[in-house]
Structure 1
Amino acid sequence: MCPKIAEIETVSFTYPVDDAKRDPTAGKLVYSPGETYERTAHGVRITTDTGLRGEYIGATGVGLAQIDLCGEYLLGRDPLKREKHWDALRGILRKYDQMGLGPIDIALWDLAGKHYGAPVHELLGTYRERLPAYASTYFAERERGFDSPEAFADFAETCLDHGYPAFKTHTWTGEGRSDIREEVELIRAVGERVGDRMRLMHDPVCSYETFADAVTVGRACDEYDYFWYEDPLKDGGQSQHAHKRLGERIDTPLLQTELVRGLEPTVDFLDAGATDFARADPDWDGGITGAMKIARAAEGHGLDVEYHLAGPAQRHCMAATRNSNYYELGLVHPDSPLPHTESPVYQGGYTDRIDTIDSDGTVGVPDGPGLGVDYDWEYVRENQVGSRVYN
């Protein structure tokens, strides 16, 4: 007999992120030595009538709110029919950004792996089991931490010494217009220091107020053969027309679609020639199912997909994807033992610590059933700030 879903639980809990704070003017975490930010994380547990359980920690608050709209659909249904449920949940969440689909789908993949006794990447079709990684920095404030272009360059050299083959900068936050001269100095400082030894990327996350500013920084990236230039325009990464025009004026490849949700909008960007790489996030883009659809669509266009941020789901997706270059280990800063995305709930050795890479600049892929990670649910319960059960 097929298992049936008997219960879904969502839970929210807090954990400390050292040497960081949230900039309320930008809604971003910035490197801030000496401060501690209490971050809220979320999890999903799907339990069947046979006792089999799929779990995932990493969801967003928006995603949990949407699970409240669609969770009851899954009760009594076969958890192994992931594609059917993915399609149905997209319909239920059609009026929203569908962020609730991601954590549900990832938990269902974890459950399926446990059912079949195989890691998720094996169910997807393993391509590799070592993933080249890049270090991806925190955002910065000018008063301390990454307080200058040279501070970013110093950290790039530190990451090179760790063994990273690639390095990505995020930019300064704060109110007012970006200082484009300083942005160009950042590109040049890092390029001069390590550009002949590392692949470099730059991601302002939609900070530049004018098209002209984006072109100016893009041309600085050209000078140092940057590997990609990501989400520069202050349009929330939405305008295909603007990014197509930007790409016509610079040589550095563009990486867009992190901030458009799901398969079809990403394909529209590819078809419009508005990006050179696709971006996919299992958490944000419809789970492992949705992220792999984006990867296959990019492959069909002859282009690469780059998975957003670090985590077990991202590792499994990349392990099953030929056309992907680097695993994003971030966000990190010189004093961070862990990236901001890693809550202290992993047992059994899984980590995205900045020093987790091997001498060849790669990270491994969990090989246990499902996601291949064990969560410390005692820690979650001790720091719980909310939960809901559907049964």
Structure 2
Amino acid sequence: MKIERIRIDKAKFDMVDFAKHPTGFSLVYEPGSRKPTSAYAIRIYTDEGVTGGYVGGNAIAAAQVRMFGDYLIGKNPLQRELIYNDVKRQLRKFDKMGMGFVDIALWDLAGHAHDASIRTLLGGWKTRLPAYASTAAGDRNGGLDSPEAYADFAVACKDLGYRAYKLHVWDEYEVAEVVRTITKVREAVGPEMDLMLDPGCKLETFAHAVQVGRACDEANFLWLEDPYKDTGISIFGHKRLRELIRTPLLQTEHVRGLEQHVDFVVGGGTDFVRADAEYDGGITGAVKIAHATEGLGLDVELHTPGPAQRQLMASLRNTNYYEMSFVHPKSSEIGRSQLVYADDYRDGLTAIDSEGCVPVPEGNGLGVTYDWDLIEANTVETVEFS
């Protein structure tokens, strides 16, 4: 089998009731707003008529494919390890985001070639995954705008069936308000719900991270993630933070690739390990990170929701929760790709069952059917390799 053609479509959609924070970075709730956003869709075609596809990625990932797209033509799409290592070298001067975008589509293709789900190809066994509600960033527009609002939403998520809840707080914050929020949420949900905090590297100083971390200690949080503005990459800084607080750290979302993840863990910079199939070399790369983490006796937690994440998590022992990200009390919006499915697959606040779990798609490959007609109708740019 050989790859004959690759097509990447950039499609435009609107996110409803969300807009950029005035800082220009975080997406925050803003009722009545419509924010244009892009979805990138890749299809890989072979000489035997087997295809693979994926919708995700970002502008950087799609741009990087231009650096190795021609290399893929004529290659055996089932030789993912060879492709992983060749492309890894080609992108060695960059963040390698393009690897994941292509690799996930190659795994989808492999599933169709072998008449099996990715979970099955990976030796997986899980059919349902426990999820945690991972909030959108804090806003000042009547949504997640106060400690009480976060607490009320945590209770609502618990009532829906979620077993865990993660807070993303405000871009412009006061440490005292963040500390009150941590305390209020724990008081509201009681001791049995797992709680986590992800400031998204917003805390200005190491001192703020220590103060917030100690509040997490008092509230018995499961983990503290990417707290301050080193942007999640300082091994020494997080090792020192671990020495000053009791709450476990979850790091490595902003560290790219297998070797860097292992270095971060061995260097003492984290307790839980973050991996992302889009960011870390695809499913191929994320599996390597998960198994390396298992060898070190730790757990890996997968970043963001999606069919690739479900298939991957279904094959891993050393993992705890599926991240249902970007949930909000006043919006059902969860991201750019919710319109792209032609079947009943979905993510979002109410996509869990009564026990707080999501199903693992059963079909071949990723197990989902994309609405290619809709994607093409919204496409504004196409790149092909042949």
- Which bracket does the TM-score occupy, shorter chain normalised? over 0.9
Separation of aligned partners in 1, 2:284 and 2:331: 32
Greater displacement, 30-39 / 300-309: 30-39
Separation of aligned partners in 2, 1:195 and 1:290: 38
Aligned positions of 1:33-72 closer than 5 A: 33-72=31-70
Separation of aligned partners in 1, 2:92 and 2:140: 41
Q: Which amino acid aligns with 1:51?
A: G
8 Å contact 1:41–1:343 — kept in the other structure? no
Aligned positions of 1:79-158 closer than 5 A: 79-158=77-156
8 Å contact 2:12–2:39 — kept in the other structure? yes
Percent of paired sites with the same residue: 51
Separation of aligned partners in 1, 2:193 and 2:17: 26
| SS at structure 2 position matched to 1:247 | helix
Gaps of 5+ in 1: none
Q: CA deviation at 1:202?
A: 0.3
Task: Pick one of 210, 213, 217 that aligns with 2:205.
Answer: 210
What's the TM-score, normalizing by structure 1?
A: 0.97
Separation of aligned partners in 1, 2:140 and 2:257: 35
Gaps of 5+ in 2: none
Q: Do residues 184 (structure 1) and 184 (structure 2) align?
A: no
Which deviations, in whole Å up to 9, do the C-alpha atoms of 1:258-294 show, x marking residues without a partner? 0111111111111011100110000111000011111
8 Å contact 1:257–1:279 — kept in the other structure? yes
Task: Tell me the equivalent position of 1:219.
Answer: 214
Q: CA deviation at 1:353?
A: 2.5
Task: Tell me the equivalent position of 1:232.
Answer: 227
Task: Tell me the equivalent position of 2:158.
Answer: 160
Aligned positions of 1:349-388 closer than 5 A: 349-388=344-383
Q: CA deviation at 1:55?
A: 0.1
Task: Tell me the equivalent position of 1:310.
Answer: 305
Task: Pick one of 286, 292, 299 that aligns with 2:287.
Answer: 292
Which deviations, in whole Å up to 9, do the C-alpha atoms of 1:311-344 show, x marking residues without a partner? 0000011000000000000111013324225330
Task: Tell me the equivalent position of 2:4.
Answer: 6
8 Å contact 1:187–1:220 — kept in the other structure? yes
Runs of 4+ in 1 over 3 A off after TM superposition: none
Task: Tell me the equivalent position of 1:347.
Answer: 342
| SS at structure 1 position matched to 2:312 | helix
Q: CA deviation at 1:151?
A: 0.6
Q: CA RMSD of the aligned region, Å?
A: 1.1
8 Å contact 2:16–2:333 — kept in the other structure? no
Separation of aligned partners in 2, 1:223 and 1:33: 35
Separation of aligned partners in 2, 1:165 and 1:363: 12
Q: Which amino acid aligns with 1:150?
A: E
Count of equivalent residues: 386
Q: CA deviation at 1:49?
A: 1.1
What's the TM-score, normalizing by structure 2?
A: 0.98
Q: CA deviation at 1:11?
A: 1.0
Task: Tell me the equivalent position of 1:263.
Answer: 258
Greater displacement, 63-72 / 27-36: 27-36
